[in-house]
Amino acid sequence: MVNFTVDEIRQFMENKKNIRNISVIAHVDHGKSTLTDSLVSKAGIISSAKAGEARFTDTRKDEQLRCITIKSTAVTLCYELSDKDFEQIEQDKDPDKHLLVNLIDSPGHLDFSSEVTAALRITDGALVVVDCISGVCVQTETVLRQSIAERIKPILFLNKMDRALLELQLDQENLYKTFQKIVENVNSIISTYICDDSKMGDISLCPTIGNVGFGSGKYGWAFTLKEFADIYSQKFKIEASKLMKKLWGDNYYSAVDKKWSNQKSENNLRGFCMFVLDPIYKLAKSIMNFNQNEYTNLIEKLGIEIKEKNVLNSGGKELFKLVMNTWLPAGDTLLSMITIHLPSPVRAQKYRTELLYEGPRDDDAFRAMHDCDSTGPLMMYISKMIPSGSRFTAMGRVFSGRAATGQKVRIMGPNYLPGRKEDLNIKPIQRTEIMMGRINHSVEDIPCGNICGLVGIDQFLIKSGTITTFENAHNLKVMKFSVSPVVRVAVEAKNLSDLPKLVEGLKQLAKSDPMVQCVMEESGEHVICGAGELHLEICLKDLEDVYAGIPIKKSNPLVSYRETVTEESSVNCLAKSTNKLNRLFMKASPLPEGLAEEIDSKAVYPSQDTKLRSKYLSEHYQLDLSYTKNIWCFGPDGNGPNLLINSTKGVQYMNEIKDSVVAGFQWVSKEGPLVEESLRGVRINLTDAVIHTDSMHRSGGQIIPAARRCMYASILSAEPRLYEPVYLAQIECSRSVIGAVYNILNQRRGIMLEELQNGNPQIVEIKAYIPVNESFGFSGEIQEKTSGKGFVQCVFDHWQVMDLNINEPSSKSMQIVNNIRRRKGLKEKIPDINQFLDKL
């Protein structure tokens, strides 16, 4: 039975201090969706019997079939808090004891990391789920890093405890050490990525605080130390908060002496094992061994009330699930953790606004967001589009003001600049909706602090953007994804008459996924770029079945490369304009190591204050101040990891030709001379110029082609190379098949990094680098050669320079260059430098 109506939810949305916006994040198959069912069940949307099996937030058919989450799903849940939980909330709260939880269940597969980014942007807290058998994995670290970068406060849940009890049958001390290791690993990741001046306060995780939970999402039971401290506090006559500290760490209790000690001896046991694990272990053992007398006595002693007495005769897993679910319901534990330890929008926006808002700190929009003011101007961020029939619902978070049906708003895309009209539309909102997983419900308006859907703005935004009613508002910061679209597939319609449907389908596909890119090459082929094989597979299936609805032909997966230089240009390259009246002199050189990554991560960016940027580059990369003050632009697209620097001295008319040279640089950085791929880590120095005095003779038509030829010549004279993308592969396999895994890695140019031992002594975790070009079919081959005992996860990690000389015809690099040039319809040979150089 549902515990609330849509009207009640809308009413509770006004109580901003009693709202929690949370994402559920984890590695793939660690049990996010099954655990989320417990919260959905607690809200009365599904029955408790179905919780753990229904996977309510997996709304797509392929999600249910594959048993993995592919798209983030939002659901609004309402609860009535117990007096005990309500009293323990330390932050400001509204007197109404109802709590509204806007929950987003996100994917765990590395290929869908962009969905996690979109979920984190519009939430304030994160429930981090870790499989207590597998421990902290690649994606666990990735999502934690993303959440800390977005100033999202985490709580931790150690899932699949049932496997440790029933399958692996770990003893109590080993299970405690497994838990302790996971908590330490997660805290280690948090301390690595959190800034010293973080405004969030202490976000470290510790069971004694109550922000770490344990249990089983599938069986629907969970606990924190708070639950057991409440049970034992009456017996020991100690406050529950003090007892919690005794139930973790090196605290041992002697049943003989009735004393606590911090030293292990023969007649004492660790507090966590004796008081927390022991009752659970005894219950599990007696029920699984069908020892009815023993488990009946235990159920009575623990005060567990089983309504249907006849089920007590059955024993086995079903009874264990029922008993544990009745004694320690997961929904209650998770709700308690979320309520007490995660911030309300009022609290979170005080430290998140300065990170999200790009405008000044004293305008109306910033103040309204900072105070979570529902009477201020509307400020809303749209993080993703959700398909809804032939249209899309824009999912986002209202940071200030109210989003109302029929309200006229400014729809600002990611390229909008204040004072300009590009990427700006002023249109009314057709409908505002409360997100409820599979179904959305229309309401008149949504106040700030809530997550909602907007209908009618999808035609003005491609993927994400800012919605506001404040005329002078700046954009909210564009999301930064942890993965890159480095794998590409060319598609075409099987029937030429279906081409218009394909083009329309590609537009809709680009809208439906936060990261996928659909581009049309100069050769006319349509290319889809994604994060990996699975990501592309899902995109192509959606395109064929949903968006285009036509049969399509697809190429083999292609890899995006980047072009770079490894030395400074051997000559000062000269190019003349077509009329021979202007001369440009340039040199190319590589950017200092690490600077390209800093530009990607927006630590260095075009709109940064010039003096601050110059000082930073001078101190960290030892670049000459005279150069760093004269950075004309970044490229490609005005923000990429390449720099154009004006290092001329005393040359006239430089400002007049600046736009033309910049246009030439953007062209070159988008299409390099080797294979017309984007440049990376290249610095072009404009060393000298001779410019005609008459403005008619130094127009863009003269300067742009000359600048392009000069840049091409300077790159070709600076030892050009290709960058190839590299995955970090995490391979979990049985110890018996480790030799087969190493053989496959060697055949695919893989580089072994480390071999780790997990909690299970038979399972080994291998981390290795593998080039994306060699990764196609890697997962399938691992499973085939290991007879299903190996499991692979790949995530984009970095770009690496291909070793072999680009000028050796037989080299791997040269083969790749030739293949790409042939595919793009370019001449077989790399252009000769003399095609671009002019003589004095």
Could you report the per-residue pLDDT of 317-349, keeping only the tens digit for each? 778 788 887 888 888 888 888 888 888 898 988
Beta bridge mates, 575: 584
Specify the pTM: 0.80
- Distance, in Å, from the CA atom of 692 to the CA atom of 697, rounded to the nearest integer, reads 6
Structure tokens at 369: 């967001």
Instruction: Report pLDDT digits (tens) over 297-308.
Output: 777 777 677 766
**Comparing C-alpha atoms, which of 274, 295, 300, 301 is closest to residue 283?**
295
Counting as low any pLDDT under 50, the low residues of the chain are 1
Q: Which residues neighbour 575 within 8 Å (Cβ) at sequence distance 6 or greater? A: 583, 584, 586, 706, 707, 709, 710, 713, 836, 837, 838
Structure tokens at 539: 């995109």
- Distance, in Å, from the CA atom of 511 to the CA atom of 513, rounded to the nearest integer, reads 6
Interhelix angle 138-149/113-121, nearest 10 degrees: 30
- Distance, in Å, from the CA atom of 114 to the CA atom of 478, rounded to the nearest integer, reads 13
- Distance, in Å, from the CA atom of 185 to the CA atom of 758, rounded to the nearest integer, reads 12
Neighbours of 607 (CB within 10 A): 10
Per DSSP, 652 falls in state: T
Instruction: Give the H or E element holding residue 491.
Output: strand 487-493
- Distance, in Å, from the CA atom of 647 to the CA atom of 684, rounded to the nearest integer, reads 10
The separation between CA 479 and the C-alpha centre of its own chain, rounded to angstroms, equals 9
Beta bridge mates, 58: none
Q: Where are the alpha helices (DSSP H) in 671-777?
A: 700-716, 738-747
Cα–Cα distances (Å) from 751 to 486, 730, 747, in that order, read 20, 12, 11
Structure tokens at 104: 């987003």
Quote the pLDDT of residue 127: 92
